[in-house]
């Protein structure tokens, strides 16, 4: 298993490096696996018939929806836990509190330690593209999971911060 990463040369428009070209990395987006393909694969790996698996997954989904909508953090077996959350505007006056202050409803997923370990040990394949879309370099590695920050070689407080990868997340969370 390999995570494919695209490093695209782009001109920064804001910040201390505004006007300079830098390579910005992001995981390449894969196609979505259909529900029927997922059920078929799980059936092959477990020896459980597709119909029984479909019923079990459907029941698990119903349980997750029922408990999560009541405010519970719900386990997703083998993956982690999920819960519902939201972002909302703040107001000083209690009389102004209303559901209209909610700006975003979201799903918060916290992966299990096993899932985090799997991600940390997965190889990374980086393809670098210049500003014209031409491939200029390919990097294949077996990533140890350690975060290296050339701007902060001591690995201080800012190591791993920023970027689209989210970095800085340790296995203990």
Confidence of residue 55 (pLDDT cuts 50, 70, 90): very high
The structure tokens 């791993």 sit at: 160
Prediction pTM value? 0.62
Q: What is the mean pLDDT of residues 103-115?
A: 95
DSSP for residue 20:
-
The Cα–Cα gap between 149 and 140 comes to 18
28 conformational bin, left if phi > 0, alpha if psi -120 to 50, beta if neither? beta
Q: What pLDDT is stored for residue 153 in this prediction? A: 52
Q: What pLDDT is stored for residue 149 in this prediction? A: 52
Q: What is the mean pLDDT of residues 146-150?
A: 52
How many degrees, rounded to 5, is the angle at CA 63 between CA 60 and CA 68?
Answer: 125
Give 29-53 pLDDT, tens digit per residue. 878 889 999 999 999 999 999 999 9
Q: What is the mean pLDDT of residues 79-105?
A: 96
Locate the domains of the chain by residue range: 33-72
User: Strand 74-76's sheet: what is its strand order?
Assistant: 74-76, 80-88, 102-111
Of 24, 17, 57, which Cα lies nearest the Cα of 163? 24
């Amino acid at each position: 298993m390999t995570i494919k990463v695209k490093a695209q040369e782009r001109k920064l428009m804001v910040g201390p490096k505004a006007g300079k070209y830098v390579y910005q990395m992001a995981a390449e987006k894969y196609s979505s696996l259909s529900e029927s393909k997922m059920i078929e694969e799980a059936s092959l790996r477990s020896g459980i018939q597709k119909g029984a698996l479909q019923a079990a997954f459907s029941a698990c989904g119903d349980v997750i929806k029922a408990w999560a909508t009541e405010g519970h953090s719900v386990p997703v077996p083998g993956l982690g836990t999920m819960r519902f959350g939201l972002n909302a505007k703040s107001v000083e006056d209690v009389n102004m509190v209303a559901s209209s202050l909610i700006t975003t409803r979201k799903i918060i997923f916290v992966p299990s330690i096993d899932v985090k370990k799997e991600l940390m040990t997965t190889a990374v394949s980086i393809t670098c593209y210049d500003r014209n879309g031409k491939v200029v370099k390919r990097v294949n590695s077996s990533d140890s999971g350690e975060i290296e920050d050339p701007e902060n070689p001591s690995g201080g407080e800012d190591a791993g911060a920023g970027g689209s990868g989210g970095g800085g997340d340790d296995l203990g969370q």
